Amino acid sequence: MGNRWLFYYWLLFYGLPELLGSIQLQVIRLSHWSGDRLACGHVPICRQVYWWRNYPDNYCIDNAQLKKIGRLMANIKLFCIGALSVVLSLNSGCNQKSPTDNPPTTDKNESNKKVEVPIVTVGQGEDLEKFNDQLPTSQGLLSLKKIGNEDFERPDLYLGDKIILASKDVNDDRISLVRRFKLTQGEAILVSTDAGGSGTLPSYSILLLLKGQAPKWLTKDDFYSETGDITYAQKGDVVTIGLGINDKGLNKSIVLENGQLLTNLLETAKGGLPNNDCKWLHDELLPNCEQQPPEDCNENVIPESSMSMAITRGLGQIRLNPNFNEQSVAEACYQACSKQPIPDYKEFKKSVCGG
C-alpha cells in the first residue's frame, strides 16, 4: 500500500484520538482557571472526568459543562473524519488510471484479418496491346490462338483451355483484345471484331468476368463507331466508351453499369470542329486538292471522286459533325486546286473550322 496509506491509518486510529484528548484536556483546564471548577468531594453533581490520560483529581466539571464539551468534541471529531474521508477519496481518484494508460488489448488473430475495401477506379482502363494476346485474368489466361495451320484461319479466343469466342461465330472476323477495366468484383474486357483490311471499322463487345460467376458476354447492335474515334472513361464500376458522332450527328457512347450496356446519345455542341479534324483537313485534304487537275477545281464542290479512298473516308467521317461547313471547305480546296498558297493552320482554322 505504501507509506502514504500507513500514515493515513496512523492518523485515523492514533493521531486523531490523541488530538481530541489534548483538546478536551485544555477545555477542562480553561474551565478550572475561569473559576467554574467545583470540588469533587463537596458538590453532588460534580464528577471526575478521565479522557485517555490520567488527569489530577481536582479537575472536575458539572454536568452542563460536560454536555457542552461533549457536543463540541463530537462536532470536531465528525469534521476531522469527514476531512480525512475527502482526502482519501481524492487520493483514490488520482490513483485511477486513465483509459489511455492501459489500452485495450487486440487479438492478434483479429489484427491479421484483412478487410476488403471496394476499389474505386478512376481512369481510362488498361491498354492490352502489350500483352500480345496472352492476358492473365481473375478466371484464368485469356488468349488468342488457332489450332489449325491454315494461313487464312483466324485465331479463336480461349479462357484457359475452353473456347469462349470462335472466329467462325463472328463471320470469320479477326478478334482482338482491346482494353481491360478493373471492377470491384472482377473485370471487364473490351473485345473487338473486324473483317480486317483498310477502311473497315470494328464492332465491340464486353466479356464480363465477375467473382463466383460464369463468364458473360455483353453485346449491342450499335456498339461500333462511325468515325473510328474511341475514348474511355471509368469511375468506380461505371465505364463509358465514347464512340464519336453517329450518322444522326449525335455523340454516341456505350455505358457499362450494373452488368448492362446502355446507349447514350447527346447533341453535339455547337461551335467549331475538333482540333484533330481541322488539322486533318489542313494537312491531308488541302495537299490532295492542290494535286487535282485544273478542270476538276470547283469552288462549290470538293473533287473527292478523284482522290484516294482514305481521303474519301476521312471526309465522310468529318461530315457527320453538324459543325462541318461544306462550303468553306470547298472554297479552301478550290484555292489550293488553283495553285494559290495554302494558308497557315491558324488562319485556316479561324476561317474554315470555326475557331
Residue 96 domain-assigned (yes or no):
no
Does 161 map to a domain?
A: yes
Residues 160, 229 share a domain: yes
Give percent above pLDDT 90 in the chain: 54
Give the helix ranges, DSSP H, for 203-291: 275-280, 286-290
In whole angstroms, what is the distance from residue 259 CA to residue 186 CA? 11
| 259, 308: one domain | no
Rg of the chain (C-alpha set): 51
Look at residue 117 and tell me if it is in a domain.
Answer: no
Q: 180 and 245: one domain?
A: yes
Residue 175 has a pLDDT of: 95
Strand order in the sheet with 174-183: 126-127, 174-183, 186-194, 203-210, 216-218
Residue 104 lies in a domain: no
**Following DSSP, what letter does each residue of 63-127 receive, concatenated?**
HHHHHHHHHHHHHHHHHHHHHHHHHHHHHHHHHSPPTTTSPPP--HHHHTPPPP-----EE--EE
Q: Give the number of domains in the chain.
A: 3
Q: Which of 243, 267, 291 is the last residue of a domain?
A: 267
One domain for residues 156 and 212: yes
Name the grid cell of 192: 473487338
Average pLDDT value over all residues in the chain: 78
257 plus 280 within the same structural domain: no
* 190, pLDDT greater than 90: yes
- Note down the domain range covering 301: 275-353
Q: Are 205 and 217 in contact (CB under 8 A)?
A: yes
Task: Report the pLDDT averaged over residues 29-33.
Answer: 49
Question: Is the model's pLDDT at 114 over the cut of 50?
Answer: no
The residue that leads in pLDDT, 309 or 66, is: 309
**229 and 317 share a domain?**
no
Last residue of a domain, one of 214, 242, 267: 267
147 and 263 together in one domain: yes
Task: Choose one of 267, 302, 329: the last residue of a domain.
Answer: 267
Residue 302 domain-assigned (yes or no): yes
Residue 140 CA to its chain's centroid (Å): 29
Same domain, 148 and 261: yes
67 and 167 share one domain: no
Give the phi and the psi of residue 11 in degrees, each rounded to 5: -65, -40
Distances in whole angstroms, Cα of residue 153 to Cα of each of 5, 67, 287? 97, 125, 40
If pLDDT is split at 50, 70 and 90, which confidence band does 123 have?
Answer: confident
In which band, very low, low, confident or very high, does the pLDDT at 51 lie, cut at 50, 70 and 90?
very low
Q: Let me know if residue 72 belongs to a domain.
A: yes
Give me the pLDDT at residue 117, please: 40
Residue 100 domain-assigned? no
DSSP helix/strand/coil, 308: coil
Residues 280 and 259 in one domain: no
Q: What pTM, to 2 d.p., does this model score? A: 0.62
260 and 331 within one domain: no
Q: What are the tens digits of pLDDT across the range 269-286?
A: 888 999 999 999 999 999
Instruction: Give the pLDDT band of residue 27 (cuts 50, 70, 90).
Output: low
Whether residue 171 is found in the same domain as residue 250:
yes
pLDDT at 65 over 70: no
Residue 128 forms part of a structural domain? yes
